[in-house]
Each structure stands twice: as structure tokens, then as C-alpha cells.
Homo-oligomer: A and B are copies of this chain.
């Protein structure tokens, strides 16, 4: 396989698809006339909340785990994650019959923790900061010899997440614009690489919480910016770009829109009430972005008529969802 200037390309994404196709779910695409009316566009929701493990993360994790040689795989895999990548990796490891060690902060949403345990992931808690996380992970790697699988910044992960575009642009080829959440940039990069290879004129818009807008700041500065702290309800969007994801985001993501947490909550409510789907805050941000004034009033996006929105995941505690929705009244 010839690899271009990035950590993944359309070939590696197609190879990933061939590798994981029988393991992942081909998620459906939903639409709603009411939401089309509200947004004044035609929206196509790619429901990765229905993906195995409840989030798109299973695509990348699966591709990484099933790319390992038998020898490497035999010692197991390890990661740190706020939740969805951890559960996805645990499930992928379980399917390959190897152990998965997971370092997770103590403040992880309960349902995400339960997901990791459901798939027999071996949970190790750290404090909710990077230093503690890295320490716990370092010790575990020393002890087990397990292979580290990052949540975003990895070619195998990018290639796995890119399979979303392969499916979606086959399910709704009329799509002219794709809106994706951005955090570590694994999904945004994979989706952009695949989509622009299939249709060079397609536009990619990433959506980011205002309280964790490192990607938007990085795009503006032309280099990776990291934030000393982040503040958003979108627990899946608190990571920052890495050296493999940044070049793709820099070159192929056309713009990044930031939205308030209150806009995310409103979008979650619309997903619940109109689409009848359960979406976590990170998963609702694409809809929030499309409904935002920033998007609606920006002439640059007025020709975006058929918009694919990736609903990234559905792992939200009922009690938490209820609290959010109540606060938004």
C-alpha cells in the first residue's frame, strides 16, 4: 500500500472497510421533514449512535485491533479514553479474543463505564488529568506488554473512521456537505480523506464546543494549539488534535464552527423529540452547528443544500440527559 502525505488515504480506508465490514454495523441514515424545514436544507443523519458499542469509535478500534499481528495481539491492547473509544476497543479485543486494558478518568459517564465492563474491558482509573492518565497507562504497559491503541491520532484509527464516508456517500450520494464533530480529529480526518477522494467538491465542516475549541484555534493559528483546560458538556469532545490528525484537519476540513453548550442541548432535544433517537451531547453537535446563526447566516455555506450529519454516539445517562434538557427550559 502506498501512503500519501497523510496517515491514511482512500486505499487504507477501503482496506479498513474490507477488514471490518463483517464486524461493524452499516448504520442507517435518517431524515426528517421537520428538521429540513427548520434548517432550510436537506439533512441526512448518519446514525453512528446505532453502531456497535454505541459510537463510531468501534470502526477505528476494530480496524486497529484486527490489523495487529497474532504475536502483537497476544499481549492485549491498552488505551486511555473518556469512554467511547475504551468501550469500542474492549469490544474489538473481545471479538479477537485478547484482553483490553483501559485507563479512564474517574469522572467518566456511568453508561460509558458500564459499556467498557460489558465487553470485559479491564478498567483502571486515573485522576481526570493527563499526567495521572499517562502515569497509570505507563505502568500498565510495563506490566502487561499490551499494545497501545490511541483514540484518534493513529493511521489505523483514521482509516477505520473514514469508512463512515464510504457508507454514507453510497447511501446518500447527493450529499454536498458533511458536518462532523471534532475532538482528537480521528473521525474528522478519516471522513474528510475518504469523502474528498470520492467527491473532491464535497465540503467538510467540523463542529466544536466553544468551551473546548482547540481545533478552531489551531485552524486560525495554522499550528496545533492546546488548551490548559476545557469546559463543555460534550464529554466526547475534550481531546485535542495530534500530529497525524492535524495535517488533515488543516488541509481538508473547510471550516470549524464552534457552538455553545446550550445549542448542543437544544439539538439533543430535537434528536429526541423529532428523530426519536438517543444522542449524547457530542453526537448532537453537528445538528447544533447547522442550526446555529453562525452557519445559517454565513454566505459561504448557502450552497450547502444536502448536508450529511454524523451522529457520533448515543452513550448518555438518562439522568444526565434529563438534567440537561430541564436546564435548557
Q: Point out residues on A near B: beta carbons under 8 Å.
A: 28, 30, 33-34, 49-50, 52, 54, 111, 118, 269, 272-273, 275-279, 314, 318, 322, 325
Contact = CB atoms under 8 A, between A and B. Distances in A.
A276 B273 contact: no
A318 B278 CA distance: 11
B49 A276 contact: yes
A118 B38 CA distance: 13
A328 to B, nearest CB: 11
B325 A34 contact: no
Q: Which of A33, A118, A269, A276 has the most CB of B within 10 A?
A: A276
A273 B318 contact: yes
Contacts of A278: 272-273, 276-278
Contacts of A34: 118
Given A34-B118, A322-B322, A314 B50 contact: no
A322 B322 CA distance: 7
Contacts of A52: 33
A179 B15 CA distance: 40
A314 B276 CA distance: 6
A318 B314 contact: no
23 contacts: A28-B28, A28-B30, A30-B50, A33-B52, A34-B118, A50-B275, A50-B276, A54-B276, A269-B318, A272-B278, A272-B318, A273-B278, A273-B318, A276-B277, A276-B278, A276-B279, A276-B314, A277-B277, A277-B278, A278-B278, A318-B322, A318-B325, A322-B322
Given A276-B277, A276-B314, A278-B278, 12 more contacts: A28-B28, A28-B30, A33-B52, A50-B275, A50-B276, A54-B276, A111-B273, A269-B318, A272-B278, A273-B278, A318-B322, A322-B322
Contacts of A314: 276
Contacts of A28: 28, 30
A279 B275 CA distance: 11
Nearest to A278: B276
Nearest to A317: B273
A133 B34 CA distance: 30
Contacts of A118: 34
Nearest to A33: B52
A118 B273 CA distance: 13
Contacts of A276: 49-50, 54, 277-279, 314
Contacts of A30: 28, 50
A62 to B, nearest CB: 14
A111 B277 CA distance: 15
Q: Which of A34, A54, A278 has the most CB of B within 10 A?
A: A278
Contacts of A279: 276
A167 to B, nearest CB: 13
6 nearest CB pairs, A to B: A276-B314, A28-B28, A276-B278, A49-B276, A322-B322, A272-B278
Contacts of A273: 111, 278, 318
